[in-house]
Structure 1
Amino acid sequence: MTGRRDVDEELRARLHEAAGAHRPDRARILARVERGMAGGDRPAHHRTTRPPLPGWARVAGATAAVAGVLAVGGYAVASAVKDDAPGRRSVAASSTPSTAPGSKAPHAPVPSRPPASAVADGPLWSDGAVDPHSNEFWAQSNVTLKTAEPLTALTVELRVAQTGGVTSTGAWRSLPEDDFAFAVGERDGFLVYRWTLKEGRTVPAGEWMFAGQYDHDRGGRNAQADRYAATATAGSGGLSVRGDFAARDDGS
């Protein structure tokens, strides 16, 4: 029985090898298999020339002949030969993509709100503007702060770009003068005004203004490069704002 199993295994391997080539006439191949299996009906003089073979050997020989036809003509008829060894069949399976074709992967979550603008930070809001009373020789730049909480520390800096002939003529603030240390001077192409709240003093909640005054060359001055910045400390923590002198709403 071992010899028969070996022949069957070899036969099945040859049939599967030739199976993928073509698809010839299935009925014609079946007929040839049947004729091969009917080898016992051959004339007697063929059987007397050599010892008779067992039936399984005749079937194997006839089917092997058909395998040669299959290799040239095309398709192996798997239904004509049963596979006696379950679990040895191979099955081709296509993998399923995790994302359907044409679809897009989910985007990262969108932040619930955009970050606060530079002109506002928590309870502190700011604005910069050129005073409307400025003229062709002189100007005043105003930094306005609004705070909803008292401030225990505050530094305000105004930077006026040196556009030609810019020279300080003074400064003021709407808070008590004695509460602040003040300095003015030129640095890196700017006329810089700085107000610093003295230790132990407090800025009450409310709206406050810091102004720098200066002469400049005759004609309308462009304040596009001017800047301001302020840092403060409130009960809610450290605060920081900054901006320019472009027109904007009043922040109310």
Structure 2
Amino acid sequence: MDETRLRGELREAAAAHRPDRARMLARVERGMAAPPARAGLPRRRWTATVAVAATVVAVAALGGLAVTALQDRPAPPAVAVAPGPAARAAGTVDPGSNRWWAQSDLAVTTDGEVTGLTVELRVAHTGGVVSTGHWQTRSADDFAVTVAEEAGTLVYRWTLKEGRTVPAGPHTFAAQYNHAEGTRDASADAYTVVLIAPGGGRTTLRGGFG
């Protein structure tokens, strides 16, 4: 067979060849699963690298699922807060006070029943201040009352006993005390009233006697 004919048959055979794609892909996959040593990467290191890559992909996928789950989770229902009692308070120095003795009156008005009530009346030590008594328009059996010296003030405190209630209406709490002779300055005196409604709502009132 001469050279010209041989070359012609080779060209025809090359034109008629169709590569087997399935076999080629299989070889590529086998090569990735077990890379040859000449690739410059030892088999053990290659395996570890593939494992790490797979772990990163898995963690990323799980993170995406977690974020999606949190975003899809419905918001918790809002918790309703019970409103505090509607109330008003005003402090005044009783007009019956004189040059040696005084009475501080605290008027508290509630628009509804309260199940908790603490009244605190503070009389500043302006000289010669000594407690001579106290009273309230509600029953004395309803309250625990204390009188104590605290940080330069004489503190009268009424606390509604557990299980007792105070109805709607005006209520008065009075503190009585001696003081140094003369017209006493009550501008440093103060009061705090904390009221609790049957539903648990709280109202705090503060003011003075100046």
- TM-score under structure 1 normalisation? 0.49
Does the CA-based 8 Å contact 1:152-1:202 persist in structure 2?
yes
Aligned to 2:203: 239
Structural mapping, 1:13-162, within 5 Å:
123-162=86-125
Normalized per residue, the structure richer in helix is 2
Aligned to 2:171: 208
Pick from 186, 193, 196: which aligns with 2:156? 193
Structure 2 alignment gaps of length 5 or more: 1-83
> How far apart in 2 are the matches of 1:229 and 1:216?
22
TM-aligned CA deviation for residue 208 of structure 1: 0.1
* C-alpha contact 2:195 2:202 (8 A) present in aligned 1: yes
Fraction of identical pairs, as percent: 53
Structure 1 residue 235 displacement after superposition = 3.8
1:176 to 139, 153, 157: 139
Aligned counterparts of 2:87 and 2:198: Cα–Cα separation in 1:
12
Larger radius of gyration: 1
Q: Distance in 2 between matches of 1:182 and 1:159?
A: 14
1:204 match: secondary structure: coil
Instruction: Note the C-alpha offset of 1:122.
Output: 5.5
TM-score (norm 2): 0.59
Q: Which of 161, 180, 185 in structure 2 is aligned with 1:217?
A: 180
Could you give the per-residue CA deviations for residues 140-173 of structure 1, whole angstroms, max 9, x where no partner exists? 0011100001010000000000000000000000
Give 1:185 shift.
1.2
Which residue in the other structure is 2:127 paired with? 164
Q: How has the CA–CA distance of structure 1 residues 122 and 198 changed in structure 2, closer, same or farther, with 3 Å as cutoff? A: closer
Show structure 1 runs of 5+ residues with no match: 1-120, 247-252
The superposition leaves residues 47-73 of structure 1 with CA deviations (integer Å, 9 ceiling, x where unpaired) of xxxxxxxxxxxxxxxxxxxxxxxxxxx
- Equivalent pairs, count: 126
Deviation at 1:221, TM superposition (A): 0.2
- SS of the counterpart of 1:169? strand
> Deviating runs (4+, > 2 A) in structure 1?
none
> What is the root-mean-square deviation of aligned Cα atoms in Å?
1.1
1:230 correspondence with 2:196: no
Aligned equivalents of 1:160 and 1:126: distance in 2?
17
Q: Distance in 2 between matches of 1:170 and 1:207?
A: 21
